[in-house]
Chains A and B, each alone.
Chain A
Amino acid sequence: MVLERKVLGLKFKNPILPASGTFNMGREVAEFYELATFGGLITKGVTRAKRQGNVAPRTVETVGGMLNSVGLQNPGVDAFIKNDLPFMKKQGVPVIANACGTTIEDYVYVASQLDKSNVDAIELNISCPNLGKSCGGMSFGVDPEMTKEVVSAVRKVTKKPLIVKLTPNVTNIAVIAKAAESAGADAISLINTLAAMAVDIKTRKPILGNKVGGLSGPAVKPVALKMTWDVFNAVKIPVIGCGGISDYRDVIEFMLCGATLVQVGTGLLTDPMCVPKMVADLEKWCRENKINSLDEIVGGLKV
């Protein structure tokens, strides 16, 4: 009970969610343990039409982290609602659908389809670095005006809780967060991956087939913590922290910096079993530190 979070009109039995894109639609992790181990679930990013994603290789390990350039391979929003959402909804915890697009019309289509479904909330992905040069994904999230435009358009077609996921590839993330808030976002999640590259000196080529990708994992945690703190201090809506979380101490760090909930991404790939351990360890820490509600630590950084 101590871990329970009430956010966005939803009840999460703990603050730990999977980060979109590291969890597909949940079936694979479900082979390890019950998905209700998480406080809630987040889907792979879904788009208007089915996407095949980028060419191989799509991943490479780097020091303290990894790059990926999956490129939003997904079945499309309608197939997702038909084939995957029923499975996710059966798990008994809130389901958040991650929505992505290349144009405002795409985002609006995806959001309005999701609005008609029984997903509990929508996470608008305006931060995917793997959609190429065609406008879309991250190109919305790097500009406050475009952020406002896409969030307002989506806000008009859904009454479901709307989370906006931000990219760290900006000069001032607080400005983008405020733009999303003013356009009607109910929460901010951050960070998506940092645009990055890896090079093979033998072939003198980039290692990723897409040439560039996004960096995630423990290496980005300090960046994510700082940005979580920046956004927490800039907006009034809840903040969901993400970036390199792999154990309960990371969760506490993000909560001290203002995160109400957290997302675990690369940590799940390194060790799918990290989440049950994280939940148990967090509960133990709360007990040992006489914490009755996690609200007592959210934003409690002493500065």
Chain B
Amino acid sequence: MQKQHTTKVIKIDNVAKDTFVFRLELPKFPKIIPGQFLNVRVPGFTLRRPFAICDWDEKNKTVDFGFTVRGDGTRALSNAKVGDTLDVLLPLGNGFDLSGLKDKKIMLIGGGIGAFPLLSVVKNHANCYSFLGFTAKELVLLEKEFKTASKELVVNIGGFVTDDAEKAIPKIKPDVIFACGPEPMLKALCNKKLTIPVFVSLEQRMACGFGACLCCNQRVLVNGEEENLRICCEGPVFKSEDVIWS
């Protein structure tokens, strides 16, 4: 399967402060799973930048990804214009496993730009309950998109969205929880020792994005043994109870 794509930027949305969603047009469309990511080459930089895929349209051969400006590379990327070409590797990573969840309820918990990969779930599953947390009002993103596609949406600004979600569990009775966000948030969620299966999407400083360099390691329990797995290949989604937090 072709992984390297020369794409064209066809739409840029400034969805929150310093935060953007780019729509790319692909010459050839690969099969994508919700929660997978892409790795964008930013001209002038040695390493690609990995970002969550947040939506796609197979018919029109487009893929959306979101990012926030964190450093020089993302700053440079944010200056791209509609019509520019981007060299992108995709789809990468395992993604969220939706097989067997057809009639099940999924609770989504996102913190900040952790909402991006969760949007790809909500767009591909009819029974999602979304809980999104942001540290400030100007950082709230994709509220309309989540509201349209979710059964229910709770947005928390400045507080702990994981607490909101926990309180709602008895009422919603979700079958599974998918979460993405800053490490302290995911750790707090895992520490709640919920009886529902929780899957977390993690990030780490990454080089190749396709498994060759072994740079983006995550300590994970595999058959009771501690292993360093690659976030870009065996992840970014892991079963929460297998994750050994740093």
B207 and A59 contacting across the interface, CB-CB below 8 Å: yes
Output the least CB separation between A52 and chain B (Å). 5
Other than the given A59-B216, A73-B217, A271-B41, 4 more pairs (CB < 8 A) read A24-B212, A53-B217, A59-B207, A270-B41
Among the stretches B45-53, B100-108, B109-117, B131-139, the one at the interface with A is B45-53
A65 and B46 contacting across the interface, CB-CB below 8 Å: yes
B211 and A58 contacting across the interface, CB-CB below 8 Å: no
Cα separation A266 to B45 with both chains bound (whole Å): 12
In the bound complex, residues from chain A placing their C-beta under 8 Å from that of B67 are: none
In chain B, residues 117-142, which have Cβ atoms closer than 8 Å to a Cβ of chain A?
none
A56 and B205 contacting across the interface, CB-CB below 8 Å: yes
In chain A, residues 28-60, which have Cβ atoms closer than 8 Å to a Cβ of chain B?
28-29, 31-32, 44, 52-53, 55-60
In the bound complex, residues from chain A placing their C-beta under 8 Å from that of B227 are: 52
B246 and A55 contacting across the interface, CB-CB below 8 Å: yes
In the bound complex, residues from chain B placing their C-beta under 8 Å from that of A80 are: none
- Take A28-B210, A55-B246, A271-B41 as given contacts and tell me if A61 and B218 are in contact as well, using a CB distance cutoff of 8 Å: no
Residue from the list A58, A60, A268 in contact with B214, Cβ < 8 A: A58
Closest to B71 in A: A61
In the bound complex, residues from chain A placing their C-beta under 8 Å from that of B214 are: 21, 24, 44, 53, 58, 70, 73
Interface string of B203-226 (1 = CB under 8 A from A): 011111011111111110000001
The verdict on A10 contacting chain B, using a C-beta distance below 8 Å, is: no
Output the least CB separation between B73 and chain A (Å). 7
Q: List the count of A-B residue pairs having beta carbons below 8 Å apart.
A: 98
In the bound complex, residues from chain B placing their C-beta under 8 Å from that of A29 are: 212
Among B1, B205, B211, B226: residue with most chain A CB under 10 A: B205
In chain B, residues 56-104, which have Cβ atoms closer than 8 Å to a Cβ of chain A?
73, 87, 89
A270 and B46 contacting across the interface, CB-CB below 8 Å: yes
Q: What's the tally of chain A residues with a CB closer than 8 Å to chain B?
A: 36
Secondary structure type dominating chain B contacts: loop
The verdict on A273 contacting chain B, using a C-beta distance below 8 Å, is: yes
Q: What's the tally of chain B residues with a CB closer than 8 Å to chain A?
A: 31
- Take A269-B207, A271-B41, A273-B4 as given contacts and tell me if A22 and B213 are in contact as well, using a CB distance cutoff of 8 Å: yes
- Take A52-B227, A57-B204, A269-B208 as given contacts and tell me if A68 and B46 are in contact as well, using a CB distance cutoff of 8 Å: no
Residue from the list B1, B45, B48, B211 in contact with A24, Cβ < 8 A: B211
Closest to A21 in B: B213
B205 and A60 contacting across the interface, CB-CB below 8 Å: yes
Residue from the list B1, B45, B48 in contact with A31, Cβ < 8 A: B1
B210 and A272 contacting across the interface, CB-CB below 8 Å: yes
In the bound complex, residues from chain B placing their C-beta under 8 Å from that of A65 are: 46
B207 and A66 contacting across the interface, CB-CB below 8 Å: yes
- Take A53-B214, A58-B205, A58-B215 as given contacts and tell me if A270 and B48 are in contact as well, using a CB distance cutoff of 8 Å: yes
Interface string of B1-15 (1 = CB under 8 A from A): 101100000000000
In the bound complex, residues from chain A placing their C-beta under 8 Å from that of B207 are: 59, 66, 68, 269
A271 and B87 contacting across the interface, CB-CB below 8 Å: yes
Closest to A55 in B: B246
Output the least CB separation between A264 and chain B (Å). 12
In the bound complex, residues from chain B placing their C-beta under 8 Å from that of A15 are: none
The verdict on A217 contacting chain B, using a C-beta distance below 8 Å, is: yes
Output the least CB separation between A284 and chain B (Å). 21
A28 and B212 contacting across the interface, CB-CB below 8 Å: yes
The verdict on A107 contacting chain B, using a C-beta distance below 8 Å, is: no
The verdict on A299 contacting chain B, using a C-beta distance below 8 Å, is: no
B215 and A52 contacting across the interface, CB-CB below 8 Å: no
In the bound complex, residues from chain B placing their C-beta under 8 Å from that of A222 are: none
B46 and A31 contacting across the interface, CB-CB below 8 Å: no
Output the least CB separation between B87 and chain A (Å). 7
The verdict on A218 contacting chain B, using a C-beta distance below 8 Å, is: yes
The verdict on A12 contacting chain B, using a C-beta distance below 8 Å, is: no
Cα separation A64 to B217 with both chains bound (whole Å): 23
The verdict on A23 contacting chain B, using a C-beta distance below 8 Å, is: yes
Output the least CB separation between B210 and chain A (Å). 5
Output the least CB separation between A80 and chain B (Å). 14
A31 and B204 contacting across the interface, CB-CB below 8 Å: no
Closest to A60 in B: B205
Cα separation A218 to B44 with both chains bound (whole Å): 11
In the bound complex, residues from chain B placing their C-beta under 8 Å from that of A53 are: 214, 217, 228
A32 and B4 contacting across the interface, CB-CB below 8 Å: yes
Output the least CB separation between B43 and chain A (Å). 11
